[in-house]
Amino acid sequence: MKEIILIKLGEMVLKGLNRKSFEEILIKNIKHKIRSLGAFSVKIAQSTIYIEPLSDDIDLDEVCEKISQVFGIAAFSRALICTKDMNTILNVVTDYVADDLKFAKTFKVNAKRSDKKFPLKSPEICAEVGGKILETFPKLKVDVKNPDITITVEIRDFSACIHSKTIKGQGGMPIGTSGKATILISGGIDSPVAAYMMAKRGLTLSAVHFESPPYTSERARMKVEKLLKIVSQYAGPIEMHTVPFTKIQETIRDKCPEELFTIIMRRVMMQVASALAKEDSSHALITGESLGQVASQTLYAIECTDCACNMLTFRPLIGMDKQEIIDISRKIGAFETSIEPYEDCCTVFTPKHPRTRPILKFVEQAQKDADMEELIKKAIENTKTIIIQ
């Protein structure tokens, strides 16, 4: 008995002429994701990708775990393959689905015959397989409308495939099909979720993190690296740029009106990040801002932040509640790390009464008066880059 994994493609099946290039990228991503688990053959036919392990010692549970993190996959299942012969199918089917049927009261058989030379038609395959299952598990009943379990028998070109459990994939578009964007990543809950959400739309990511030693610690940066590593399980390798931000923040503290500290700091972050993004051939910025969440995320504050640079900026969390963001954070496995108590440069020199309705021209003037162009250039020059994967 040999098992393979069948993968149903996500939204990309809606693509027209360039669908093939999407499929090729997805196959490349899948191969990259499972390469450490052994040797596999990965092929596509009739909108289904087949992963076949090439040795017996491969743990398919581990393969499924990895596949569940790949964008571009709507659903997948483990399937038994056997020769295209009704006797063989009847001999193996009951053993193979026995575990899945343990807690089921009702079932249905679904047959797909893409090899039209197979002597039995789909309804006949269903009848024979259904009969065999009823004979082996007499307590079960057939329910074609709302069964607890659906057993699928597919007669494909190369063999017969039997499967009974479909696992939901991540959905989205394969990484690398939408270009590249740069996430401004902090150690908080929001920005890793924003990164995940945009990667899900097929973007390759790079990341910019601002640190202000000695106000922020080495541990705080390591926490951000850990968060990016979690995101990279879905998004693939991420270039992380760490920008030394201390002098800029001290200058803002010394030269700008206190109630505008945060907003000016956020504007400088956007300017530095857009300069680094351009060097990276990245075409957009991504932030974890959510409308109204804090003083620097009111409509007027975001407007002032947005005007700081002229790069397209994605804010995928803009309309979400904190709880909705936390739910995704938990789902992707980032939450426990995000809530570790390390400082972020945003919490250094926070004003007692931040302006929630800053006026752009005053903010621009205050930033200009602080005269930070040279410092910004230096910070970009002294940025350190590592690859997270």
List CB contacts of 216: < 8 A, sequence separation 6 or more. Answer: 342, 343, 344, 345, 348
List CB contacts of 308: < 8 A, sequence separation 6 or more. Answer: 266, 267, 268, 270, 271
Q: Which stretch binds Mg ion (CB under 5 A): 188-196, 208-216, 293-301, 309-317?
A: 188-196
Question: Whose CA is closest to 44, among 60, 21, 63, 78?
Answer: 21
Q: What whole-number distance in Å separates Cα of residue 13 and Cα of residue 230?
A: 28
Minimum distance, C-beta of residue 301 to ligand ATP, in the bound complex (Å): 9
From residue 380, alpha-carbon distances to 261, 268, 272, 274, 387 in Å are: 20, 11, 7, 11, 17
Q: What whole-number distance in Å separates Cα of residue 230 and Cα of residue 192?
A: 9
Question: Whose CA is closest to 242, among 185, 161, 306?
Answer: 185
Minimum distance, C-beta of residue 161 to ligand ATP, in the bound complex (Å): 44
Minimum distance, C-beta of residue 288 to ligand ATP, in the bound complex (Å): 3
* Helix (H) or strand (E) segment spanning residue 226: helix 218-235
Q: Tokens for 199?
A: 């990667």
**What, of ligand ATP, Mg ion, none, does residue 256 touch, CB below 5 to 8 Å by kind?**
none
From residue 370, alpha-carbon distances to 227, 326, 364 in Å are: 33, 37, 10
CB 184 within 8 A of CB 287: yes
**What, of ligand ATP, Mg ion, none, does residue 320 touch, CB below 5 to 8 Å by kind?**
none
Q: Please tell me whether residue 53 adopts helix, strand or coil conformation.
A: strand
Residues 81, 185, 263, 311: which binds ligand ATP (CB under 6 A)? 185
Binding map of Mg ion across residues 310-349, x = CB under 5 A, - = no contact:
----------------------------------x-x---
CB 239 within 8 A of CB 387: yes
Length of the chain counted residue by residue: 389
Q: Tokens for 234?
A: 């879905």
Beta bridge partners of 210: 243
**What, of ligand ATP, Mg ion, none, does residue 294 touch, CB below 5 to 8 Å by kind?**
ligand ATP
Question: Whose CA is closest to 205, among 213, 193, 215, 214?
Answer: 193
Q: Tokens for 301?
A: 């504050």
Site for ligand ATP in 344-373 (CB under 6 A): 344-346
Q: What whole-number distance in Å separates Cα of residue 264 and Cα of residue 359?
A: 12
Minimum distance, C-beta of residue 304 to Mg ion, in the bound complex (Å): 18
Q: Which stretch binds Mg ion (CB under 5 A): 72-80, 136-144, 183-191, 224-232?
A: 183-191
> Alpha carbon 31 to chain centroid distance?
17
Minimum distance, C-beta of residue 214 to ligand ATP, in the bound complex (Å): 15
Residues 181, 189, 263, 275: which binds ligand ATP (CB under 6 A)? 189
- Nearest to ligand ATP of 151, 208 (CB atom): 208
Q: Report if residue 186 touches Mg ion, rule: CB under 5 A.
A: yes
Q: Tokens for 151?
A: 């057993």
- Nearest to Mg ion of 25, 224 (CB atom): 224
Site for ligand ATP in 230-289 (CB under 6 A): 269, 287-289
Q: Which stretch binds ligand ATP (CB under 6 A): 103-111, 184-192, 246-254, 360-368?
A: 184-192
Q: Report if residue 301 touches ligand ATP, rule: CB under 6 A.
A: no
Residues 147, 188, 192, 358: which binds Mg ion (CB under 5 A)? 188
- Nearest to ligand ATP of 78, 266 (CB atom): 266
- Minimal CB distance residue for ligand ATP: 188
Q: Which stretch binds ligand ATP (CB under 6 A): 51-59, 75-83, 126-134, 186-194?
A: 186-194
**What, of ligand ATP, Mg ion, none, does residue 191 touch, CB below 5 to 8 Å by kind?**
ligand ATP
Q: Report if residue 313 touches ligand ATP, rule: CB under 6 A.
A: no
Q: What whole-number distance in Å separates Cα of residue 73 and Cα of residue 68?
A: 8
Size of the site for Mg ion (CB under 5 A): 4
- Nearest to Mg ion of 34, 346 (CB atom): 346
Minimum distance, C-beta of residue 183 to ligand ATP, in the bound complex (Å): 7
Q: Give the residues lining the site for ligand ATP (CB under 6 A).
A: 184-186, 188-191, 208-210, 269, 287-289, 293-294, 296, 344-346
